[in-house]
């Protein structure tokens, strides 16, 4: 789980301009390589879910 905020200084005070809260789930291969991931989060109070296209992983070793 994560919680990130972006601030700007306006008239000498920090003002939040963006906030993102969410979770990232991922699968790891036996070699420790992340093979797929999803990111579900709230951005400016709206729920967003990013799911990348299916990837084809080749053995490069």
Query: Can you give the residue ranges of every domain in the chain?
Result: 22-48
Tell whether pTM > 0.85.
no
38-49 as b/e, with b when 16 or more CB fall inside 10 Å?
Answer: ebebeeeeeeee
pLDDT digit string (tens) for 2-61? 888 999 999 999 999 988 888 888 899 999 998 888 888 887 777 876 665 555 555 555
42 vs 9: CA distance, rounded Å:
23
Can you give the pLDDT at residue 22?
87
């Amino acid at each position: 789980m994560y919680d990130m905020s972006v601030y700007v200084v306006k008239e000498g005070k920090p003002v939040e301009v963006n906030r993102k809260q969410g979770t990232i789930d991922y699968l790891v291969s036996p070699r420790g390589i992340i093979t797929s991931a999803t990111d579900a989060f709230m951005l400016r109070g709206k729920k967003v879910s990013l799911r990348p296209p299916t990837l084809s992983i080749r053995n490069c070793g």
